[in-house]
Structures are given as structure tokens and as C-alpha cells.
Amino acid sequence: MELQPAINGESALDSLRTAARKLADKGAIRDEIVGGIYGVSAEICGRAVTYRDRKKLGSTYKLDNIVTSRLWGFPIMLAGLGLVFWITIAGANYPSSWLASLFGFIEGYLTAGFNAIHAPAWLHGVLVLGLYRGTSSVISVMLPPMMIFFPVFALLENFGYLPRVAFNMDRLFKKSGGHGKQALTMSMGFGCNAAAIISTRIIESPRERMLAILTNNFVPCNGRWPTLILLSSMFMIGSAATGAFSTLATALVLMGIVLVGIAVTLTVSWVLSRTALRGVPTHYTLELPPYRRPQILKTILRASKEKSLNVLTRAIVVAAPAGIITWILGNVTVGGDSVLNHIAAFFDPFAQLLGLDGFIIMAFILGLPANEIVLPILLMGYMSSGAMVDIDGLGGIKDIFLAQGWTWLTALNMMLFSLLHYPCGTTLVNIYKETKSMKWAVLSAAIPLAIAIAVTFAVALAARLLGWV
């Protein structure tokens, strides 16, 4: 909608009055009134505000005409997202391998120390193979990507670009029956879905806020980024792709996964807005802040402390007991086999229909408290079941997966399941607190789970019918 302070020689106030008379056109009356209000505001602003640097203001308008245009807005947005992924992947691969090797080296000395004091095997298993290995896996897999992704994302926010993303997405959310501010809560979901649920308070309409709550889970949060990055770099790229091309291809795969999440968000919003959450979308007015020169060092330090390290600390706190429980389940036998293997065998027939295996389903169930621990639990589950391979970098992780019969379909469907499945425990608690309804909290878990199962089943079925696996 174009906002004009004057129309056909009339003052902005006259334009507002004219808009109010157009009651016959119920679809346009809202936009006309809001346009008139902004026209009056612009007229008052023009009389009261003095600009010291109109040239700088003009450059902001020119830049906005490009980054928010219908032609270039989305390509620039996708290119920026791909660049963030590329920087993250290119910068995180080697540090992850170095950390994994370092922790493996330390584990050898810890094991030697336990042997030297003749510690019981169960104590070594609980403290080293369970507690230490679980937490070290979380650190080596999660820390490098987060230390790059969150600061880079924060720099974009500091620059003033994220509100432009919300402006571009407003058109899509309006067509899907949602609210434009949902783009802002969705952007926050890239960092943490639990925090994004609280941020939906900025949406005034209860109906549209509920849409934002129910669909926020479909953007990957910090806990799912390591899984997506790791699997896409190991399985989604052919062996012929090396160096910079491999990193670029991995970034494109990740961008494709994110687009799938956005498409599911819009689709679910469209369906719910025409069924359980019917209603007319409310108007969304967004004030675009000026572009600012990013405070690079300050922004990087703040993002590293407030997001990366805090999220990692939470993951370690959750992963430590999960590692112990996983080791115990893998070493307590019933009927000649471990409890862990019994659980995995129980889920395996169903998991195979989805192109997964029982251990993957078990890892997602045990990982309900936090998405960050799904991958470490899966690795510990595999290693406790007989594939005792030391994790010496990303190559060691891939060897573990290949030893369990993984293919590209297994990796792809785990990525899709990770993207679409139910929110973590913290997010579910926040949903219950915000909605004051157990019904909506249950639906916020059931809807994503049903979609995750349907999508992975369809992908697995199609791949098998086409003979690709």
C-alpha cells in the first residue's frame, strides 16, 4: 500500500475523511483509513521535524526500495540467509573436528586414570562414557556453529535488516491468514523457539497470536542447527564436492530445509485460519528503523555471551544426566540384550516406514527436554549398542552412522523430522503458560509430530518406489 500525504490536491486530513466515507468498499476501508492517518502524521512531521542530513535519509529510502521491493526483496533475503549458512559451515567444520579430537585425547587419559586406580568398570562407564562423552559431544558439535551463527545473525539485526525481512514476509503471512508480526517471532525462533513463544505477545489479535504459537516450531532453533549442519555436510553432498563448492552446496541444502519450514508454516497457518482459527487478518503497521553501522565487536561479544554460551550451558546441563541415563540403558541387560536395544527394537518397525531406525526415534523421545541433546544421545545409543567407535572428528561420526546402515535417505529424513517434530520441553511449558490451556499445548506438539511423520513417510515411500534406495 502506498502512503500519500496528499491526494489530488486535498490535504491529508481531507484524504482521511474521504476514506471514511468509502463504507461500501469494506475490503479497502481499513487501508484507506490507515493511509490517511499516516498522511496526517507525515504532514505534522514535515512541519515539526528538521533533518540535518537529507542525503543520508535519501540513501536509506533508496536502499529500502531495493531490499523491500517485490522484485528483489526475496532474492536478497535468500542470498543473505545462504551467506549466513555458508559462513557458519565454512567456519565451524574444522573447529568441530579439532574439539572432537581434543576431547577424545582427554578421554584416553581419563580412562588411563580410572584404570590406574582400579576403579570399577561401571563407574568408568557412568562418568567417562556417559557423563563426559555426552557433554563433550554436545560441546564439540554445538559450540563452533553457534559461536558463528548467532553473532552473524545479530550483526544483521544490529544493521537494521531483520525488520525489512518482516516487511517482505508480511505479504505472505497476510495471504495465509496470519499476522505480519509473525515474521518477527519466526526470526526469533531461529535462535530459540521457547523465547519466540514469549515474543508472540507483540501480536494483539488472540487468534493470530495462536497461529504464531502453533507454527513457530517449524523454523529450526539453535538446538536443531548442529544436527542439520552436520548431516547435510556429511550425507547431502556428493563425495566429488570438495572445498568451497562443498561448503556452498551444504549451505544451499540448509537453505532448502529452512524454506521447507517456512512453506509448512504458511500452509499450516492457511489451514488453521480457515478451520479452527477462522477470522479476518488484522492490519499490520511496521515502522522501519534507520540503518545503522553495526557495532561489530560489541555485538559479537554480546551474542556470544547471551545466546551461544547460555544455550550451550543449558544443553550441557540437560545432556549430562541424559548421557548417564543413555549409558545405563545401554549396559543394563534384560534377556541377554540391553534395555537400550530393546527400546530401539520396539520402535524400529515404525521407524523403518519413515526411512529412519529405532535408535533415531528413541533419541528424539529422550531428547524431549532439549533438541540440543538429540544427536549426542543418538551417538551414545549407537556406541553403546556395539559400534564402539571413538569420535575422532566428523569422519568418526560418519563412520558410526554408516556402520548402522545409514544412507542419504536416513540423513534427509532425520533432518526433516528434526525440523518438523514437536517442540522441546521448555517451549511446550512456555506455550502452556502463554495460552493457559492444556489443549493448545498438546496440539502444539501433536500437529508438528503428525506433519513430521507424514512428510518423512511420503519421502521414504517415494524414494523406494523410484528405486533411489
pLDDT given for residue 210 in this prediction:
92
Q: Do residues 420 and 369 lie in contact, with contact meaning Cβ atoms separated by under 8 Å?
A: no
Where would I find the H helices in 160-242? Answer: 162-175, 182-189, 193-199, 206-215, 225-235
Alpha carbon distance 73, 153 (integer Å): 18
pLDDT given for residue 440 in this prediction:
92
Nearest CA-CA partner of 208 in 236, 170, 234, 238: 170
Alpha carbon distance 112, 320 (integer Å): 22
pLDDT given for residue 3 in this prediction:
43
Does this model's pTM top 0.75? My answer is: yes
Q: Across-strand partners of 7?
A: 10
Helix or strand or coil: residue 410?
helix
pLDDT given for residue 243 in this prediction:
58
pLDDT given for residue 406 in this prediction:
93
Helix or strand or coil: residue 223?
coil
Binned average pLDDT, 10 residues per bin, the chain of 469 residues? 46 62 56 76 80 71 86 88 80 78 88 92 85 78 77 82 81 81 79 82 86 90 81 72 68 88 92 84 71 81 72 71 81 85 93 95 87 81 56 68 91 95 88 90 94 96 92
pLDDT given for residue 351 in this prediction:
96
Q: Do residues 395 and 340 lie in contact, with contact meaning Cβ atoms separated by under 8 Å?
A: no
For the record, the C-alpha cell of 451 comes out as 506433519
* Domain range list for the chain: 12-50, 73-83+98-142+170-282+313-465
Alpha carbon distance 392, 389 (integer Å): 9
Alpha carbon distance 235, 257 (integer Å): 14
pLDDT given for residue 4 in this prediction:
47
Alpha carbon distance 194, 452 (integer Å): 19
pLDDT given for residue 6 in this prediction:
47
Q: Which long-range contacts (CB under 8 A, 24 or more apart) does 188-193 make?
A: 189/216, 189/217, 189/219, 189/221, 190/153, 190/219, 190/220, 190/221, 190/222, 191/150, 191/153, 191/221, 191/222, 191/307, 192/221, 192/222, 192/307, 192/311, 193/217, 193/219, 193/221, 193/423, 193/424, 193/427
For the record, the C-alpha cell of 266 comes out as 504458511
pLDDT given for residue 1 in this prediction:
42
